[in-house]
Each structure stands twice: as structure tokens, then as C-alpha cells.
Amino acid sequence: MLKQAKSCFAWLLGLSFTSQFALADDVKRWGVNMTQGVTDVSREIYGLHMDIFWWCVAIGVVVFGVMIYTMIAHRKANGAKAANFHESTTLEILWTVVPIIILVIMVIPATKTLIKVYDTSEPDLDVVVTGYQWKWKYEYLNQDVSFFSSLSTPQDEIYNRAPKGPNYLLEVDQELVIPTKQKVRFLITANDVIHAWWVPDLAVKKDAIPGFINESWTYVEEPGIYRGQCAELCGKDHGFMPIVVRAVPQAEFDAWMNKKREAAAAIAEAAKQTLTFDELYAQGEAVYQKHCAACHQADGKGIPPTFPAIAGSPIANGDMRAHIDRVLNGGQGMPPFGEQLTPVESAAVITFQRNAFGNNTGSELQPIDIVNFKQGL
């Protein structure tokens, strides 16, 4: 029996120390504490956290110390006779006043830090952060740059068909790039449900609420990559909408912004081209897997009734304009994709949906049709 228990215990230890899954060497394991982060504010918050933690430890040592002492010393089995005291106004006043003093000591620095966190005035750069089910949109205010940022971890890693990389679930297709040594203000909102934008190293966590704009800010000194996640339950893929912030020196940032603007111009140019059906279908399949499959499923069967099937769908087999309208503008719980898909991608994915999964409309769509639709033509 004992032997069995022992081997069982060894097995459990083995499980937790030499885990079954492949672990990359650069994954920080057994983390026990809050990050100090990379900003003044995050270090102050870490300091508050440690202060209150040590107060708790001190109180715990006293209270649990007395408890353990009394449980050893005052056992009936050791012949302890019960005393009969049951009141002491002095004690009651003492252990009301002392905690109040400790609280006041804690509250002063906490208030100072809070005032600092709330000072969103005079930013050098504004970024509008919009939460979508289940991705983030970043828009550099008055800079003509905006893009979506979504999870880039492949499904194969999530479903254990491929080894997981070190940044598993914490990697995105397009990072948010910000300049170092600049006060960056985040204007945080959401398009559908409530999300929360959280980057631990920046100590920024703010709810993204549809219809409202919350403000937060950061000032990063050192270049680096800082990873975070959505912190408010926002539906099915809440666990799959990470945040990656790359802080770079101002010059590098400016160059990156220019490149982004050029890319936007290239997309507008690409909208003018005409593609063959096969090109549209192939590109559409890729877009579908990236943007549509999370809900409508890779096989197009959906998860009815919340996520209807594309296969045999009245929309994908019906009027073309209704189909374009649904994809670009959303509806019945589906988010709009008009802003995050380029005209080429929209045309491709609609063409794909109308000809895949047994749908057989034979119809195809060119990027220019999307541009025209958007202009009401």
C-alpha cells in the first residue's frame, strides 16, 4: 500500500517537473510574482504590490504564530485547563486601531500612484485601440495608419498536432509599434462586447467598452517586445486575442509608419486589378481559414444556431449584394469585416464562399466590385 502510494507520488512529481509537452528553453517557467515591468508606473505598482504583500506577511506571522503556539500549548491532551476570560475592551480597541494605521500608511502611496496613472494629459502620440471579437484594431490618430492585429499561432499548435513555440498564444500577425521615450496615450474602446486591453510590462489594463472611450497611457524607455492578452471574457475566443507591443526608437518608428502608409497605398492600387477565378478561390480559402473558420468552422458547417453554416447558406447561395453586405457590414451577431479585409481579400473570400462546401453559384467577384459597393454604386 505504502509502496503504491510512493510510486503514485513519484509519478505525479514526474508529471509536473518533466512535463509531457515540448517546452522551449526560453519559456520562463514557475513564475511566482508580478512583473516589475518597463515603465515608471509599472515599477511603482510593483512596489505597492510588494509593500502590501509584506504587510500581509507580517500580520500573518503574528496571527498564525499565536494560533500555532496555542494549538500546541493549549491542548487538552497536554493537560491544558481552559481559562475563562472572554472580554477585553483594550484589546478590541488595539486591534481596531493598529490595522487602521497600517491602512493609512498603505493608502498614501497608492493614492499618489493612482493620480499618476490617471494623468493622461499631453500625449506625444494617440493610438485608438478597438476590441473586436476576437482581435484588436490599432489606429494611429491623425496619421492615416490603422490595422488589425490577430492571433498568429497556428491551429495545429493549439490542437497539439505541432510543437508549441515559445510565444504560444502570445503572438500576432501585426504588432502594435510605439516609439520609446514618448508619452503614448491609448484611447480604448470596443466594437461588439467588452474586452480589456492588458500588457503586464506596461501595467496598463483598461476595459474596452462599446460606445465609450477609456484612456490610458505609457512611457516606455527601452526598446523591446511586450506581450499581453485580453483580460475580460468576451466570448468563445477570449483566450485567443493576444496583444503584442513593440517599442522602438523614434527614427525606427517613423520609418515603420512610412512603410505602413506605402502598404496602404499598395492595397488601394491592388484593388484595381482583375483576378482569375482560381486566384480568387485560392486566396479566398486562405482568408476564410484566417478570419471566418473560427466561427463558421473550417468545413463551413458552422456551430448553429450561433454560428450558421456557410455550406448551403441562403446568403452564400443567394443575392450577391446581400452577401457582400453581410461580409462588409456584418449583422445578426456577426461582426463587420469591411474595414479589416482589403478589397482583394473581400472579393476573394466571397468568391470562395459562393463556390466551396458544395455551394455552386459559379459567380465570382472582382476587387473593384467591393470598392464600388463601399461607395454605394
Partner 1 sequence: MAHGPAKGITRWLYTTNHKDIGSMYLWFSFLMFLLGGVFALVIRAELFEPGLQIVEPEFFNQMTTMHGLVMVFGAVMPAFVGLANWMVPMMIGAPDMALPRMNNWSFWILPFAFAMLASTLFMEGGAPNFGWTFYAPLSTTYAPPSVTFFIFAVHIMGASSIMGAINIIATILNMRAPGMTLMKMPLFVWTWLITAYLLIAVMPVLAGVVTMMLMDIHFGTSFFSAAGGGDPVLFQHVFWFFGHPEVYIMILPAFGVVSAIIPTFARKPLFGYASMVYATASIAFLSFIVWAHHMFTVGMPIAGELFFMYATMLIAVPTGVKVFNWVTTMFKGSMTFETPMLFSVAFVILFTIGGFSGLMLAIAPADFQYHDTYFVVAHFHYVLVPGAIFSITAGVYYWLPKWCGNMYDETMGKMHFWMAFIGLNLTFFPMHFAGLAGMPRRIPDYNMMFADWNMISSVGAFLFGAAQLLFLYNVIATIVSGKKATDRVWEGSHGLEWTVPSPAPYHTFSTPPEVK
Residues numbered 141-160 forming contacts with partner 1, rule: CB under 8 A? 157-160
Smaller CB separation from partner 1, 27 or 268: 27
Min dist. Cβ of residue 2 to partner 1 (A): 16
How far, in Å, are 83, 237, 289, 291 from residue 344 at the CA level?
85, 26, 16, 14
Q: Which of 154, 174, 349 is nearest to 240 (CA)?
A: 154
297: contact with partner 1 by CB under 8 A: no
**Binding partner 1 by CB under 8 A: which of 7, 14, 27, 255?**
27
Do 145 and 178 meet the contact criterion of CB atoms below 8 Å apart?
A: no
9: contact with partner 1 by CB under 8 A: no
198: contact with partner 1 by CB under 8 A: yes
Smaller CB separation from partner 1, 9 or 277: 9
First to last CA, the chain: 80
**Binding partner 1 by CB under 8 A: which of 212, 222, 322, 360?**
212
**Binding partner 1 by CB under 8 A: which of 1, 2, 5, 115?**
115
Q: Which of 236, 47, 293 is nearest to 301 (CA)?
A: 293
Min dist. Cβ of residue 168 to partner 1 (A): 5
Stretch that binds partner 1, among 96-104, 244-252, 259-267, 282-290 (CB under 8 A): 96-104
How far, in Å, are 62, 158, 300, 362 from residue 296 at the CA level?
58, 18, 5, 21
φ, ψ of residue 293 to 5 degrees: the values are -65, -25
H or E, element range at 224: strand 224-230
Do 217 and 184 meet the contact criterion of CB atoms below 8 Å apart?
A: yes
Min dist. Cβ of residue 25 to partner 1 (A): 11
- Within positions 46 to 85, which residues make up the interface with partner 1, using CB under 8 A? 48-49, 52-53, 55-56, 59-60, 63-64, 66-67, 70-71, 74-77, 80-85
7: contact with partner 1 by CB under 8 A: no
Min dist. Cβ of residue 346 to partner 1 (A): 24
User: What gap in Å lies between CA 1 and CA 354, rounded to an integer?
Assistant: 65
Smaller CB separation from partner 1, 146 or 214: 214
Q: Which residues contact 5 (CB under 8 A, 6 or more apart)?
A: none
